[in-house]
Amino acid sequence: MRVLVIVTDTYSYGGTCRFLERLLEMHSQQRIETALLVPECDYGEYVALLVPRFSVEVFAARNRVGPDTSPFLTPLFDGLFSWRTVRSWLPDLIVVSTGDPGRMSVVLYYPVPVLYILHSAPEYRFRFLPRCYLQLGLLFNNVVMTVSKAAADSISHLMGIPREKIAVVHNSCKFVEQSVDGRLAVVLTVGHVVSYKNPLGWLAAAQMVIQDRPDVSFVWVGDGEMLDSMRVKINALGLEDRIRLPGFIAEPSTWYETAQVYFQPSLRESHGIAVLEAMLHGLPCVVADTGGMPESVVNGETGYVCPPADSACFAGRITELLGDFALRERMGNAGRQRVERSFTEEIQELKIMALYERLVIKLGKR
């Protein structure tokens, strides 16, 4: 089987990036001949590292789509970006991996089956013509895939894609040995420091907890557009010794092994790989009741779920966990077992390979 994987960006970390690495690893294990199509402007060190690891052929092409591009011109530019490679490489299957709803949807009209993987849900309802455009493209031998039931429901409602055309394959994470020694009074968050991750609500909750527990530290590992402004706010509060934003760290496993509680107050989140990683490291999680996070964190069993705007709820649950070792152990162990039961790489691979078979066998190819 020949599979062309098209990505719309190549950030060096984040859910979309982590999924791409995992996908290429699956292809390597399954001996699937793979090519990667990336925007020319994003062809950098990260993509260069993927090539020798997974023996993939890489095509880089110019794509004129930008932040100000008209929605009516986007399919044209995406088509100019992708068609030449599709025509010359002749894949049996096209996989689109994007975090931008609607991007590269032009490939739904190509004479090749498509698995359109959408890592995020739209923020607004698509208008009538774009909805019709997507619905028509899915009349062919194509399937949309996303990472949670909540994301699938939102995509169906806001983009007009029939729910039966959307497959749900949850994120996964690599197995790690659980470390229980040397944990400190640290509340950890991992991810981009951007508005939809709710850094202001995070800071408000951190202040409340620290007021009751001055021995506790909050750490948010990651970079993003709000990193510098958040550091300024923390310094202005005089809390730089208790609230730390170290920036991007390539391998945050040490922090997972150090912390006692994981905290994710996102305003929207399709699923959340970092939450799964925290659970696998035996951390009880306090998360927002948004997107797919409640599909991972079972309220009262593996952690707590709070309304995203309720910083007092977050602070109360975090304080409760910090003060009760037995509760942390019970919830942390339950969370690890839940990941091992429902969110392993093996389960994710089986589901994706089944989608490949479903799409390609219909054409009589293996």
| pLDDT of res. 366 | 43
Every domain of the chain with CATH number 3.40.50.2000 lies at 2-172+344-361, 186-342
Query: Which CATH number, 3.30.70.141, 3.40.50.170, 3.40.50.2000, 3.60.120.10, labels domain 2-172+344-361?
Result: 3.40.50.2000
Q: Percent of the chain having pLDDT more than 90?
A: 77
**How much is the pLDDT for 89?**
96
CA 79 to CA 87: how far, in whole Å? 11
| Percent of the chain residues past pLDDT 70, beyond the cut | 95
More confident residue, 15 or 211: 211
Task: Evaluate if residue 234 carries a pLDDT over 70.
Answer: yes
pLDDT score, position 180: 59
Residues 96-116: tens digit of each pLDDT: 999 999 999 999 999 999 999
Predicted confidence band at 280 (pLDDT cuts at 50, 70, 90)?
very high
pLDDT of residue 63: 87
Model pLDDT for residues 283-334, shown as the tens digit of each residue = 999 999 999 999 999 999 999 999 999 999 999 999 999 999 999 999 999 9
Question: Across residues 160-174, what is the average pLDDT?
Answer: 94
Q: What integer best gives the mean pLDDT of the chain?
A: 91
Q: What's the fold here for domain 186-342? A: Rossmann fold (3.40.50)
| pLDDT number for residue 363 | 45
Mean local confidence (pLDDT), 257-266: 96
Q: Output 193 or 10, whichever has higher pLDDT.
A: 193
